[in-house]
A and B are shown apart, each in its own frame.
Chain A
């Protein structure tokens, strides 16, 4: 079963615009990670935010985490065609049996047109 849900399922924007996607999850977490996947290839790690953090930046990426609402958002600023990919959030649940296990959302497909 999947831990989270992502919204929207698909997003189409033009180069230069910002892209925002949201992730909701169900249980308490240790941290939340965002990944990018290009067309059926491997997952590229983008950013990790810990449960005691509220916001984190990395280049054109901004991630927020609201543990009271069990939600996170990923903002990509000034999008480029190369940002076209699927984006996934993944949570590390705060349970005793969560060793090495990430729970993934269904992903958001982002298309950036020139």
Chain B
């Protein structure tokens, strides 16, 4: 069974630009969650999607958005990039039914904003 796939693995963007990251969950998993990891703040929850609906959202500005497609693949978008958005962005997939079961993570996308 293929794992969680995130693309691209690395990105370098300029302040003010926007970026789109992609996540393909494990086959059969309908929930995708996104996290930001930085040395200062650790792992912070961004949002979660299930069956194309956002069910939960963390405390991030509106510049961070996401969506999920009918095949459960998800994208997150960050607009008007700031230097502080430099981070490792991780997505996790899980079955999504009821209480959270095992969540499996991708390798992450390393975003550098210059």
A100 at interface, CB cutoff 8 A: yes
Q: Is B102's CB under 8 angstroms from A48's CB?
A: yes
Most buried by B among A35, A101, A104: A101
Give chain A residues whose Cβ lies under 8 Å from the Cβ of B70: none
Within 8 A of A (CB), among B22-47: 31-33, 35, 42-43, 45
- Bits for A77-114, please: 1 = Cβ < 8 Å to B, else 0: 00000000000101010000111111111110000000
Q: Interface residues, chain B, CB within 8 Å of chain A?
A: 4, 6, 31-33, 35, 42-43, 45, 48-50, 55-56, 58, 88, 90, 92, 94, 96, 99-108, 110
| A75 to B49 alpha-carbon distance, docked (Å) | 33
From A90, A92, A100, give the contact of B50 (CB < 8 A). Answer: A100
Counting contact residues on chain A (CB < 8 A from B), the size range is 20 to 34
**Cα distance A40–B42 when bound, in Å?**
11
A33 CB–B CB distance under 8 Å = yes
Quick check: A101 and B58 within 8 Å, CB to CB?
Answer: yes
Return 25 A-B CB contacts under 8 Å, by A number: A2-B43, A31-B100, A33-B103, A40-B88, A43-B92, A43-B105, A45-B102, A48-B102, A90-B103, A92-B100, A98-B56, A100-B32, A100-B55, A100-B92, A100-B103, A101-B48, A102-B33, A102-B43, A102-B92, A102-B100, A102-B103, A103-B45, A104-B35, A104-B43, A105-B42
The answer to whether A30 and B100 touch across the interface, beta carbons within 8 angstroms, is yes
- Beyond A45-B102, A92-B99, whether A102 also contacts B88 by CB under 8 A is no
Contact, CB under 8 Å: A100 / B107: no
Tell me the smallest distance from the CB of A26 to a CB of chain B, in Å: 15
Q: What separation, in Å, do the CA atoms of A101 and B58 have in the docked complex?
A: 9
For the complex of A and B, list the 5 residue pairs with the smallest distance between their C-beta atoms, beginning with the closest.
A100-B48, A104-B43, A99-B55, A42-B107, A43-B105
